[in-house]
Amino acid sequence: MSKIEQKFIELEKKNEKALIPFITLGDPSPEFSLKIVRTLVDSGADIIELGIPFSDPIADGPTIQASSMRSLANGMTPDLAFNLVKEIRGFTNIPLVFLTYYNIVFQRGVNRFFHDCSECGIDGVIIPDLPVEEAALALEASRKTNVDLIFIVTPATSESRLSKILQVARGFVYVVSLFGVTGARKKLSEITLETLKKIKPYTKGKIPVSVGFGISKPEHVKELILAGADGAIVGSAIIDILAKNLKHEKVVIEKIGKYVQIMKKMTIRHW
């Protein structure tokens, strides 16, 4: 059993679900992104998703695209991402997941990429543009290094394709909550809850399910948990706080900390 799956079991014993915040490493600077990660940890994050920026992030909306551009402009590289994770491992042992695109993995070499993930302390990898049908090499590297390869399920995923994904998925299944790209929304769409309810019978007792894309409010988290989600992934809303306060480090830390604390409270079944 992987470290990520163990975390979900630990949370379930405490009647909690997982809060999984996302940030782009290197935004607005490598040093400041480390401070943000520490704030996420201190504020109750259960798993943290760390973006390695890519110049053409097709699954991301304007907020995370802008975050990636700021990070790249400030000198962020895959090598630096691995080094930052080593520093993060100096102050926390919670599961860490990379999110990046296949070009980054391919350019480094698939086997080397997963080896380096294992060496620096990464527990899982999400590659949005790598379909399960083309993931044999990455899956092999994932198994050898014990780094979970986490697959994405969308509202359009068929039962046959879901079956293929569940045969090889580890860590958790990432459910994209809507059609389109990342970005904070005012309310959850019906298709989000319908998708979750559709796939939950296939995953129950086998692998946790976490939902992302558009999750930005406490009531979103509550709705997801009531619908059967094991975790909520929050990214654009956190990066929005950063983007609006780029020149005020203290404000960023305070606001992100308070926001994550509020969101985490909604993962605890007290209602």
C-alpha–C-alpha distance, residues 172 and 231, integer Å: 9
Options 5, 60, 116, 240, the catalytic residue: 60
C-alpha–C-alpha distance, residues 36 and 259, integer Å: 12
Options 5, 16, 46, 49, the catalytic residue: 49
One-letter amino acid for residue 111 of the chain: N
As given in the structure block, the two tokens for residue 108 are 């480094």
Taking Cα atoms as reference points, which of 10, 5, 12 lies closest to residue 171? Answer: 5
Active site residue 159: no
Contact criterion met (CB below 8 Å) for 48 and 21: yes
Active site residue 10: no
**Type and span of the H or E element at 22:** strand 18-24
C-alpha–C-alpha distance, residues 42 and 40, integer Å: 6
C-alpha–C-alpha distance, residues 208 and 134, integer Å: 23
Q: At what angle do helices 218-226 and 190-203 cross, to 10 degrees?
A: 40
User: How buried is 167 (Cβ within 10 angstroms: 0-12 exposed, 13-18 middle, 19+ buried)?
Assistant: exposed
What are the residue numbers of the active site?
Answer: 49, 60
